[in-house]
Structure 1
Amino acid sequence: MKKKECFIKLLSERKSVEVIYGCSGQLTHENEKFNSKALQEFVHSIKLPESWQTGKFHSVFSVRKNNKNLGMPENNLLSLSYGNIVRKDMNNNEGLIPESYETYQIVYPGDIVLRLTDLQNDKRSIRQGLVKEKGIVTSAYDAVYVSKNHDPAFWAYTLLSLDLAKYYYSLGGGVRQSIKFKDIPNMLVKFPDLEEQRRIAIGIESKIRKMDELIGKIELSIKYLKELKSSIVTEAVTGNLDITKWKNRGTSNYQLVKIENNIANSKKVTT
């Protein structure tokens, strides 16, 4: 199980690599190996293609304004979760509940939602996600959209690459180190034309989807192994399993000792 968990970690790191490489117009190779240090070194040494256009960061994005949910015209509640915009049940009373959802803001497909609060205490969250359906989100988020000559998915991945490089954390201020989207410097950025933006976004999404599917299968196998382990211990404790017979099935002494120890500890708990 430890090897499987290690592989999941490596796949997660690989996803970060694919996002950052892809948004820089470069391709990775299957035999390339990365660690956190190597990835950070790459981020600071990126050289974008000379053929890409140059423009100001805030010329690409606009912040949504005057989009409060006054009068409750929209009741599809959305939330940012692990880099994805997901639906939430408005009737679920768990967590922080607002006095009124009229204070929430309406967002639209193609918008990018960012949570740029609590930068000091939370350095693990994925802080942005691409909106796929119309709905409402808390006004604590920033909602932005890109101009018509740009692809929302490409720029969502570009902002994600900044997040993975821990860029936002260098901008925070105050006790909770919170910023707004407008606080991000209006730096010069390079970007490809719309067609290439779409091609890059589709390529990144395809690779990430395959890795997510693989991660899901590995997590499921770990779950089954844990259930099997628990079942074996329970059967042995209740006297329904004789592990001494396993020696004839090729089980190593080391594995038998571990199983016997688990059984012994379980008996102590149940007595």
Structure 2
Amino acid sequence: MKLLGSGVRQTISFNHISDSLLIYPPLEEQFSISKFLNHKCSQIDQAVQIKEHQIELLKERRQILIQQAVTSGLNPDVPMRDSGIEWIGEIPEHWQLRRFKYLFSQSQLPVRSNDGVVTAYRDGQVTLRANRRLAGYTEAILEGGYQGIRKGQLVLNSMDAFEGAIGVSESDGKCTPEYVVCDSLSRNYLPEYFAYLLREMALARYIQVICNAVRQRAVRIRFNNLASRFMVVPPIEEQRAIVAFIMSETEKQDAAVALLEQQISKLKEYKAILINSAVTGKIKVPGVVEPCDEAGRESA
């Protein structure tokens, strides 16, 4: 088909194929092949749907585990109390509540001459744009006025935070003024833990509420939007344990998802090969006379 098309995008019209020679079996064999493929392809499609559903369930389970870990901790038997924060509900009795401005300050670092652009992606990764594909984030309108960013800082993409573009930077570099870059005010406040907590806030649509945004895409979260908001603060040992737990569970589930995606890819590949083999006579299809059988009957 590619050889028949024309132009850069290789569009194909009826005129391109009208003079092409096609090999086709008798009508009754066409019906047999069609019936065979409908049955087999239906089985394959069903298997793909099951695996896609399993992937969705794994992702949902991961999100539930993260939400429970950052808001309730890892000990299910600990005494609980009302946090007074609507989107969180109850928290462990010994956890503190502190305003964000007492946990983090807004960074104002200069840009260095060799700094690359750092991007916050919706899956929570914050890294040099050169390290990843150019997708999974919103391009900033304002590219001027860059600010410096350093590894280990808490970062929010003001335009994409509501979609989860919140994390801890893996890289030194620079970012646009659309980013909120924060420094921890104490070693007792682990940026990785609060990145997970803020991502949960985003997924609960609470960021949209505190920004007074009517439309989702109109959300622009600034440091001042967060400054006076209460955050739950577990002891530092629990923060570390929660982050380690989430990373471990995420690694396991990412591996399970990758395996399922590989299986889906193989099934789709098998489907394409099956169709090609059936319509070109490379495999035996019930109800279809093979050429050698037909020749044998004619000679008899």
TM-score, length-normalised on structure 2?
0.65
2:120 to 70, 80, 97: 80
Distance 1:97 1:147, change over 3 A: closer
Aligned match for 2:189, one of 150, 164, 178: 150
CA distance in 2, matches of 1:88, 1:45: 33
Deviation at 1:181, TM superposition (A): 2.6
How far off is 1:15 after superposition?
A: 1.5
Gaps of 5+ in 2: 1-47, 77-85, 288-300
Instruction: Report the secondary structure of 1:184's partner residue.
Output: helix
The superposition leaves residues 123-157 of structure 1 with CA deviations (integer Å, 9 ceiling, x where unpaired) of 6x322122122122222121112222211111111
8 Å Cα contact 2:99-2:227 kept in structure 1: no
Match of 2:31?
none
Q: Which of 94, 101, 108 matches 1:51?
A: 94
**Counterparts of 1:52 and 1:86, CA distance in 2:** 31
Structure 2 residue 53 is the aligned partner of structure 1 residue 6: yes
Q: In structure 2, how many angstroms separate the alpha carbons of the residues matched to 1:236 and 1:179?
A: 56
Greater Rg over alpha carbons, structure = 2
Cα pair distance change 1:184/1:221, threshold 3 Å: same
Q: Deviations over 1:41-62 (max 9, x none)?
A: xx74631111112322221111
* Shift in Å, 1:229: 0.7
Which sits farther off after the overlay, 19-28 or 194-203?
19-28
**Correspondences of 1:1-271 after superposition (within 5 Å):** 1-27=48-74, 44=87, 46-65=89-108, 67-69=109-111, 72-75=113-116, 77-81=117-121, 82-89=123-130, 103-117=145-159, 125-148=163-186, 149-172=188-211, 173=213, 176-184=218-226, 186-244=228-286
Counterpart CA distance in 2 for 1:45 and 1:197 is 17
Deviations 1:220-254 (A, max 9, x none): 11111111111111121222122329xxxxxxxxx
Counterpart secondary structure, 2:231: strand
Q: Measure, in 2, the Cα distance between the counterparts of 1:89 and 1:50.
A: 44
Question: Could you list the per-position Cα deviations for residues 184-237 of structure 1 after superposition, in whole angstroms to 9, with x for gaps in the alignment?
Answer: 361333312212211111111111111111111111111111111111111212
RMSD: 3.2
Residues 212 and 226 (structure 1), Cα distance of their counterparts in 2 relative to 1, 3 Å cut: same
Q: Match of 1:7, as an amino acid?
A: Q
Structure 1 gaps, min length 5:
30-42, 246-271
Q: How many residues align?
A: 224
Contact preservation (8 Å) 2:201, 2:207: yes
Distance 1:213 1:63 in 2: 36
Q: Is the 8 A contact 2:144 2:176 kept in 1?
A: no
> 2:183 is aligned with what amino acid?
Y
Task: Name the TM-score, length of structure 1 as normaliser.
Answer: 0.72
Percent identity between matched residues is 25
Judged with a 3 Å threshold, the aligned counterparts in structure 2 of structure 1 residues 113 and 45 are, in CA distance, closer, same or farther, namely closer
